[in-house]
Amino acid sequence: MIRKKVTVVGAGFVGASTAMALAQQNLTDVVLTDIIEGMPQGKALDIREAGPLIGSDAEVIGTNNYVDTQGSDIVVITAGLPRKPGMSRDDLLNTNAKIVGGVTDEIFKHSPDAIFINVTNPLDAMAQIIFSKTKLPRSRVMGMAGCLDSTRMRTFISMELGISVENIHAFVLGGHGDTMVPLPRYATVSGVPITELMSEEQINRISDRTRKGGGEIVKLLGTGSAFYAPAASVCEMVEAILLDKKKILPCCVHLEGEYGVDGLFVGVPVILGAGGMEKVWELNLTDSEQAELKASADAVQELVDILGI
């Protein structure tokens, strides 16, 4: 059997954590690439040497040469500068746009049939760059954000109620920023909406913490931003695609009229399978929720307009 191949671009904290998490899944071989000589090679070898302990036969290689990424089934882009305390994701816009654009040009030469998953911030706008440069079908370009934002909300619900995370499901829509839209009506504990289990004050507190979840970690770390939960979020998406699971996950995708948004990457629930994003899953939103989603999409549009794409 020919093993699948996933390339992770950027061997920093997010990229290396993603490569390790992918190796632990034992579903695919992994290529970790970066412009810094020796760093991807060293981290890849370290991960490979963990193989006997984690029960993984995944081949993990590090490289500075895009030729080694040839024929990737999935490409995960994490390359770019992380946030520093006091910075918003949007402050990274122009610098990371140049990085992501350059990476996309190089990777696409060697893997034109790949599915692209963007992680670099500002996530929605960077996905738009990849989509614009590759001209791929919208099913094959997406961003990771929704899985991360939703797992943060699930975590906070678990902490508030003192129950297992396994019982909790949640959806967070919109752009990956301060305007994201947690949906308490669709957050459930063993099928029961949290609106029946919590006070309005508790729900508002959890929703607010979800929106600021990334910034909370940036502030605590002092340097850098989150990497473990983003890596795990990427792996959930990769697994759904490689195993053709038809799993409903919140992801940043190019909308074409769904939810009243057209021509823009915004986080919504989708069905992920072997074809990538196979269907947008449209929820019935209240007027208030729809207005919040529109405001979030408008914030993404502002960034796209600045980039001129």
Residue range 108-127: mean pLDDT, rounded = 97
Domain shared by 237 and 155, yes or no: yes
Is the confidence at residue 85, as pLDDT, over 80? no
Q: What is the pLDDT of residue 149?
A: 97
Domain shared by 199 and 299, yes or no: yes
Domain shared by 270 and 157, yes or no: yes
Q: pLDDT digit string (tens) for 276-292?
A: 999 999 999 999 999 99
Question: What is the DSSP code (8-state) at residue 223?
Answer: S
Q: What is the pLDDT of residue 257?
A: 97
* Domain hosting residue 53, numbered range: 4-144
Can you give the pTM of this predicted structure?
0.96
The domain spanning residue 228 has which CATH number? 3.90.110.10
Closest CA to 184 of 270, 259, 173: 173
Q: What is the C-alpha R_g of the chain?
A: 19
Which amino acid does the sequence have at 187? Answer: A
Q: What is the pLDDT of residue 248?
A: 97
Give the strand pairing for 115-118 and 192-193.
unpaired
Cβ-Cβ contacts under 8 Å for 120 (sequence gap 6 or more)? 10, 77, 78, 79, 80, 96, 99, 100, 126
* Helix-strand-coil split of the chain, %, nearest 5: 50, 20, 30
Query: Which strands form 115-118's sheet, in the order they lie side by side?
Result: 60-63, 28-33, 4-9, 74-77, 115-118, 141-143, 247-256, 262-273, 276-280
Residue range 154-177: mean pLDDT, rounded = 96
Q: pLDDT digit string (tens) for 131-156?
A: 999 999 999 999 998 999 999 999 99
Return the active site residues.
176
Domain shared by 49 and 34, yes or no: yes
Q: What is the pLDDT of residue 1?
A: 60
Which amino acid does the sequence have at 253? Answer: V
The domain spanning residue 64 has which CATH number? 3.40.50.720
